[in-house]
């Protein structure tokens, strides 16, 4: 079975992890800081904080933004639930705005309308779906108008670029940007996440929240009589200044991620080449069409999604997925709209509120796209899709 996504591990990755295992520190060691510096330098941000996973990164970003009871954060319904859940983790609540039907990203026009309807919005969490960056200048303008802080969910978009050519995560349009290094993402750490920011106060709070709310070293201490002897900080001293979490990442994960980061240009180039091959192969289909046709050169291509006209095909999505599977091709759906989930329905969110996201969901199917996908496998995927969605040829006597 060809899966919809897969990591690519080589001997360099294995050696990088083995070197850590042979060394003296498995966690809270030099590889964490090295990985943070490497990501910050790559995207052009001042600071980066590595954490256990992308969901932890979203949670800490929400806390660092001081989201809390009575606050609202707007995100897209076309995302994994973590993009909305992070607001609730912080005691706030998530609201949604519809997507643009072409980009499948948060629509700035719908976002502005949602901000005006809600009145007071504390944060906006755009998601760069499938690796295609949102229209961040427009979203930032809406956020500024609403007095909201922007937290980019770039879990799909490491290495992607904005329309101005700069890399996602540089802080030009957001207070914080979140990345994920789950195995099916652009680079793999096993599990891992990162928050980038240009704000030193946010950076210091993220570091503190990552490790139980504890400060030590060169921080300002709230109990100076305990912290200092004369002008020197007591070498054993640490201070829990707020309630934090154990969201630290290990040197093992960061060693793997660093090795992978060195190959990111190659990874993305291959993903873009596969997407271009698919685009050409599926251009003539009427019952299945590629999504996100614009911005191919800027996307990191985490996913490749087709929109199927299941009614025209005379079969439902489950049947199409089973047909593909019978030909050895895996598929997946990204995503069930967040407001369809029972938890959010209990909070009052209803079907019909975001028609573009809902219509997209009715048609969406993700097909395989990953660095290690071979040319032979690509042709198998294309053949399997054509077998289902290719219009029947008219007979010679018709």
Q: Which residues are catalytic?
A: 185
Structure tokens at 113: 């309308």
d(CA 105, CA 89): 23
Question: CB of 55 within 8 A of CB of 193?
Answer: yes
Structure tokens at 203: 């950076």
Q: Is 309 exposed, middle or buried (0-12, 13-18, 19+ CB in 10 A)?
A: middle
d(CA 275, CA 259): 25
Rg (C-alpha) for the chain, rounded Å, is: 23
- DSSP-derived letter for residue 132 is P
- DSSP-derived letter for residue 246 is B
Residue in 261, 35, 45 with CA at minimum distance from that of residue 167? 45
Buried b (16+ CB within 10 A) or exposed e, 11-23: eebeebbeebeee
- DSSP-derived letter for residue 127 is B
Q: Cα 260 to the chain's mean position, in Å?
A: 17
Sign of the dihedral defined by the CA atoms of residues 286, 102, 315, 325, in that order: positive
What are the start-end ranges of the H helices in the chain?
11-22, 30-43, 54-64, 82-89, 108-118, 136-146, 200-210, 224-227, 251-261, 264-282, 310-313, 317-326, 342-346, 355-363, 375-389
Structure tokens at 173: 């349009």
Q: What SS3 class is residue 53? A: coil
d(CA 78, CA 340): 11
Q: What SS3 class is residue 20? A: helix
Place of tokens 């030099």: 30
What is the four-CA torsion angle of 90, 95, 100, 101, rounded to 10 degrees? 110
Question: CB of 185 within 8 A of CB of 155?
Answer: yes
Q: What SS3 class is residue 94? A: strand
């Amino acid at each position: 079975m060809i899966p919809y996504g897969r990591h690519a591990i080589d001997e360099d990755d294995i050696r990088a992890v083995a070197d850590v295992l042979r060394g003296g520190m498995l966690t809270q060691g030099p590889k964490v800081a090295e990985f943070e510096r490497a990501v910050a330098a790559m995207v052009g941000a001042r600071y980066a904080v590595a954490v256990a996973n992308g969901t932890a990164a979203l949670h800490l970003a929400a806390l660092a933004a001081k989201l809390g009871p009575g606050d609202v954060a707007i995100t897209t319904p076309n995302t994994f639930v973590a993009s909305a859940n992070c607001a609730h983790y912080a005691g706030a609540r998530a609201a949604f705005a519809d997507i643009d039907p072409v980009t499948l990203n948060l629509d700035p026009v719908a976002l502005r309308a949602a901000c005006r309807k809600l009145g007071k919005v504390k944060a906006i969490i755009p998601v760069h779906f499938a690796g295609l960056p949102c229209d961040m200048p427009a979203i930032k303008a809406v956020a500024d108008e609403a007095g909201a802080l922007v937290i980019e969910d770039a879990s799909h978009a490491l290495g992607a670029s904005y329309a101005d050519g700069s890399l996602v995560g540089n802080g030009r349009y957001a207070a914080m940007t979140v990345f994920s290094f789950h195995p099916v993402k652009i680079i793999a750490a096993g599990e891992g996440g990162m928050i980038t920011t240009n704000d030193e106060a946010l950076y210091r709070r993220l570091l503190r929240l990552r490790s139980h709310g504890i400060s030590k070293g060169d921080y300002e201490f709230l109990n100076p009589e305990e912290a200092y002897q004369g002008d020197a900080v007591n070498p054993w001293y640490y201070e829990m200044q707020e309630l934090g979490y154990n969201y630290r990442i290990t040197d093992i994960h960061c060693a793997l991620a660093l090795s992978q980061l060195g190959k990111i240009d190659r990874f993305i180039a291959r993903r873009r080449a596969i997407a271009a091959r698919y685009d050409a192969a599926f251009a003539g289909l009427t019952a299945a069409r590629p999504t996100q046709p614009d911005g191919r050169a800027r996307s990191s291509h985490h996913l490749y999604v087709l929109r199927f006209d299941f009614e025209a095909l005379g079969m439902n999505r489950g049947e199409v997925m089973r047909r593909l599977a019978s030909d050895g091709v895996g598929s997946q759906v990204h995503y069930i709209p967040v407001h369809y989930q029972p938890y959010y329905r209990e909070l009052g969110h209803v079907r019909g509120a975001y028609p573009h996201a809902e219509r997209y969901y009715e048609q969406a199917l993700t097909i395989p796209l990953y660095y290690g996908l071979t040319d032979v496998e690509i042709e198998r995927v294309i053949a399997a899709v054509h077998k289902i969605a290719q219009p029947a040829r008219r007979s010679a006597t018709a």
